[in-house]
Structure 1
């Protein structure tokens, strides 16, 4: 994995525990000639991986670390469909978006 200039992904393990993954920072995709770091992360079967843009969590009235903590809390212990999980995140963190938001949820299979 590489962050490509974005915030760290969130991994939710099958037991419901969630954590921000320690992924090396980097420049946005498309910027050429700049080295970037990668990391490998084992995702147990049944894990959920959330990749997102800062538009999901950045807000002028709330520090980014509080927003990331909120997102992690929303995802902990959840075993909903990807669509319902996406709706919960968007509805809670960005009910009235004033920035573009991209969210990709992936669940691993055994």
Structure 2
């Protein structure tokens, strides 16, 4: 397992909306670190603070797995049994 953090990054409109500029940010990731990009559907639930969902995903990500595919499956497996009200997208990458 390992530690996790959610960096404070600039917010913008959803990707693909209009022709407006989108804020960018650069992060330096140590070798072997994990980068997880996801939509809010992965962490938001009705009648629940988003922090609860962020902690749930953070714990699943920090457990580690033999492959990114296995890790993604584990994270998606933490979703409630009821279908999410929003889309769920998860992109994982490991630093070299």
| Range class of TM-score, shorter chain | 0.7 to 0.9
- 1:34 alignment counterpart: 20
Unaligned runs of 5+ in 1: 1-14
Q: Which has the higher contact order (CA 8 A, sep 6+)?
A: 2
Q: Do the aligned partners of residues 77 and 66 (structure 1) sit closer, same or farther apart at CA in structure 2, a change above 3 Å counting?
A: same
Q: TM-score, normalised by structure 2?
A: 0.82
Aligned to 2:48: 62
Residue-by-residue CA offset, 1:29-81 (whole Å, 9 max, x unaligned): 22334333211101111111111111111110321111112211222242431
Q: In structure 2, what is the equivalent of residue 84 of structure 1?
A: 70
| 1:74 equivalent among 52, 57, 60 | 60
Q: Which runs of 5+ in 2 are unaligned?
A: none
**Are the equivalent residues in 1 in contact too, given 2:56–2:78 (CA < 8 A)?**
no
Give structure 1 regions of 4+ aligned residues with deviation exceeding 6 angstroms.
none
Q: How many residues align?
A: 95
Q: Which has the higher strand share?
A: 1
Task: Say whether residues 1:43 and 2:26 are aligned partners.
Answer: no
